[in-house]
Structure 1
């Protein structure tokens, strides 16, 4: 039996990587999906139709600009009108830029804070009233190990991810008596296309095979010499949506291969 049959989930950044894998996991459990990502309208509608056909669920797609509060509100309002009020909110969208603090471009700082942190505040604020009325809701923010520790050249990313953990904790405290949980997942290395450039750079600079470069990249930070598959994060999201996880709220939950245990 599909354990989330009929629930409505919004997943930002769900056209690739962690978000897309999570969308498949939730769709398998009967969740209707508000999909979002950096696709043009035609591509997004095709993806939504693919999900609807494969899983027999209702879908809605938007490529709303998460830097703009009005775009977020419009996307959520139209999605709720199409599918119903949001039961599960997964803030996954994120961007990255690496540079020293001294040379960090202010416009990159502003975009990272807007997309990685402020957009989560706006989606949560808009989703909470309906969740509170139903006395059921699940808010899951995809943070990062960089919400707990820092790395050089990642000032904006670390600031945003530390911030989203703080936001998660406050929401959990404020909603504890309303049947709503709020948690942050903090992955370490995840096997997504974004990692390929880093692997290729190490292989080239150190004259290594791709597999050796991959190993060096991973183990420079975490003891477990493996990257997570994005679907593993989706499965963890599913657990946090279950009744078994009702007592887990306000937590920053690591999936980091021992990175922060050191």
Structure 2
């Protein structure tokens, strides 16, 4: 577990473990937002499966939190057969769809292969995972589907046609899942952060500087945070905390919702 969690336990206080006995699977779980979500769920008692294309990083984080790992390329949706998914999601009570990538280009220059890749990874794969997870959740009368969609699930930005399309689609998939799953004790919600302090965003700073012809040091103030009332990046642990609450029984009546964590961007 994290150093802070261990220190608190040594001092005689331990964080409540409302997710004890639950099994969670987090895609893109080896770094960035995913890793923060993994740690947050594990600290609250869940056994976490770290799903990531980076086998070594997934195994290392799984060892850290006492969970397990699943090395998988979710963009290869043809390999996500019913058999593979049934084995990977056996007993999963909490599914967090987080894996994602970014490509930035004007539509006329956007490579169709990149568009298809992003939709496969960020929309088709979540559908396949939800489809595979629901039978167990329905059978036990408990399930939590949590989709990390980004503010771009409800707002658009130039040069991100594939990412915005995929995130908007995931928002819709989440709502349909909520409507179908309600009578079975399954909730489905989205967490929609603004720009989070992750390697993905750091790469975007470089890409945005190139596209707009400005220095990298000006990208946050001139491009990324112009619409936000709070002028800072979201911290991954903040996203992890919200996901953990949505996974708990305290959030049993929260479904079909999209929780923005964007510093006020979407309030405009």
TM-score (norm 1): 0.88
1:222 CA displacement: 1.4
| Aligned residue in 1 for 2:32 | 17
Note the residue ranges of structure 1 that are not aligned, 5 or more in a row: 53-57
Equivalent residues of 1:36, 1:64 under 8 A apart = no
Where in structure 2 are there 5+ consecutive unaligned residues?
1-15
Tell me which of 31, 34, 47 is aligned to 2:61: 47
Q: 1:245 to 1:103 in 2, by over 3 A?
A: same
CA distance in 1, matches of 2:39, 2:74: 23
Among residues 72, 88, 111, which one is paired with 2:94 in the alignment? 88
1:61 alignment partner in structure 2? 70
State which of 193, 196, 200 in structure 1 corresponds to 2:199. Answer: 193
2:228 alignment partner, one of 215, 222, 226: 222
Provide the C-alpha distance between the structure 2 equivalents of 1:230 and 1:188, rounded to a whole number of angstroms.
11
Q: Are 1:170 and 2:176 counterparts?
A: yes
3-state SS, counterpart of residue 104 of structure 2: coil
SS of the aligned residue for 1:176 comes to helix
User: Is contact 1:218–1:227 with CA below 8 Å preserved after alignment?
Assistant: no
- Provide the residue aligned with 1:8 in structure 2: 23
3-state DSSP of counterpart to 2:108: coil
> Does 1:236 find its partner at 2:242?
yes
For residues 27 and 78 of structure 2, what CA distance do their matches in structure 1 show?
14
Segments ≥4 residues shifted beyond 6 Å: none
- The structure 1 residue matched to 2:154, chosen from 143, 148, 154, is 148
How many residues end up aligned between the 2 structures? Answer: 251
Whole-Å separation in 2 of the counterparts to 1:215 and 1:257 = 14
Deviation at 1:94, TM superposition (A): 0.7
Corresponding residue of 1:131:
137
TM-score w.r.t. the length of structure 2 is 0.86
2:45 maps to what in 1?
30
The Cα RMSD (Å) is 2.2
**Quick one: structure 1 residues 31 and 228, their matched pair in 2 at CA, closer, same or farther if it must change by over 3 Å?**
same
**In 2 relative to 1, CA 66–255 (structure 1 residues): closer, same or farther, beyond 3 Å?**
same
Equivalent residues of 2:35, 2:61 under 8 A apart: no
